[in-house]
């Protein structure tokens, strides 16, 4: 359902401190389905990013939160905060994977009071180096010309070598979702991620429990970045490394991811 600028989906109990899950690029909140199933007893909320899933186009989202149309993760973070507050959520455990982690870092900077605890999954707090930034801008331009074809080759980059070799159903699902990725969302998100700043200072000031998780085969979010985030988080963090998975840990092996998120949730909700 839509409450505020973005599409919001409730799962499980409708009362209690919610666990909010923010998805990775270029997917939508469906990427959390297997994790949500394993957390059926918790009040879970998933939110679609601007231009993805059931959410409006990024330009409309920017207007709704009073920001200009320039792609930015600040707009995404403001939209998440406004969507949650429109749904009556003033405080939540929030976790984000990959791009969702970047949005969460912007939330930590701009809407700190919303966060009861944070989960940073297969993500990093540093800005892109120049080569990665240029590649994002190239993909954004390509998406405007060719649509989802611009991200079709991401399968090998985002899934771990074990998944590619041994989990054909996961590979097939990822290929199908990439083929459905909306051109407007792809282009906007890539440009927003390309301009993001380093946000380690936002973690230093965040005095709440944290989780930092990554797959051992994640070539996009290195172990050093995970360790740095865990050490920097003001409230302390559990560092979890999931074996035999890549950048899409929640999709590749949802059991340990759900278990880690449950521990994070219970650290503040019991």
The tens digit of pLDDT for each residue in 129-181 reads 999 999 999 999 999 999 999 999 999 999 999 999 999 999 999 999 999 99
**Cα(168)–Cα(147) distance, rounded to whole angstroms?**
25
Pinpoint the alpha helices (H) of 6-122. Answer: 33-38, 58-64, 73-86, 99-110
- Say whether 143 sits in a helix, a strand or coil: helix
**Cα(218)–Cα(55) distance, rounded to whole angstroms?**
28
Question: For position 143, what pLDDT does the model report?
Answer: 98
Six-digit token pair at 257?
A: 């991811």
Question: For position 150, what pLDDT does the model report?
Answer: 97
Confirm if 263 and 239 have CB atoms less than 8 A apart: no
Q: How confident is the model at residue 3 (pLDDT cuts 50, 70, 90)?
A: low
Q: Left if phi > 0, otherwise alpha if psi is -120 to 50, otherwise beta: which for 240?
A: beta
Confirm if 105 and 85 have CB atoms less than 8 A apart: no
CATH of 8-128+197-269, one of 3.40.50.1820, 2.130.10.10, 3.10.50.30, 1.25.40.420: 3.40.50.1820
Stated pTM of the model: 0.98
Question: How confident is the model over 196-221, as pLDDT tens digits?
Answer: 999 999 999 899 999 999 999 999 99
Domain positions in the chain are 8-128+197-269
Beta bridge partners of 20: 45, 94
**Cα(261)–Cα(155) distance, rounded to whole angstroms?**
25
């Amino acid at each position: 359902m839509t409450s505020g600028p973005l599409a919001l989906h409730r799962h499980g109990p409708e009362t209690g401190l919610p666990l909010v899950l923010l998805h990775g690029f270029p997917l939508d909140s469906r990427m959390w389905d297997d994790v949500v199933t394993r957390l059926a007893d918790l009040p879970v909320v998933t939110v679609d990013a601007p231009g993805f899933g059931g959410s409006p186009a990024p330009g409309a989202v920017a207007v709704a939160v009073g920001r200009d149309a320039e792609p930015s993760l600040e707009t995404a973070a403001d939209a998440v905060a406004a969507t949650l507050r429109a749904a009556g959520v003033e405080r939540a455990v929030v976790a984000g994977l990959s791009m969702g982690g970047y949005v969460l870092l912007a939330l930590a900077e701009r809407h700190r009071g919303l966060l009861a605890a944070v989960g940073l999954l297969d993500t990093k707090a540093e800005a892109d180096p120049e080569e990665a930034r240029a590649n994002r801008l190239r993909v954004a331009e390509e998406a405007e010309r060719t649509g989802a074809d611009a991200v079709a080759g991401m399968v090998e980059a985002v899934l771990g070598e074990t998944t590619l070799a041994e989990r054909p159903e996961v590979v097939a699902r990822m290929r199908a979702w990439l083929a459905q990725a909306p051109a407007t969302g792809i282009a906007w998100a890539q440009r927003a991620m390309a301009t993001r700043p380093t946000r380690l200072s936002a973690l230093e000031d965040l005095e709440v429990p944290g989780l930092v998780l990554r797959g051992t085969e994640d070539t996009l979010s290195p172990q050093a970045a995970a360790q740095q985030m865990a050490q920097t988080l003001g409230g302390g963090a559990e560092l979890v490394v999931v074996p035999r998975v890549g950048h899409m840990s929640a999709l590749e092996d949802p059991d340990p991811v759900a278990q880690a998120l449950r521990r994070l949730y219970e650290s503040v909700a019991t």
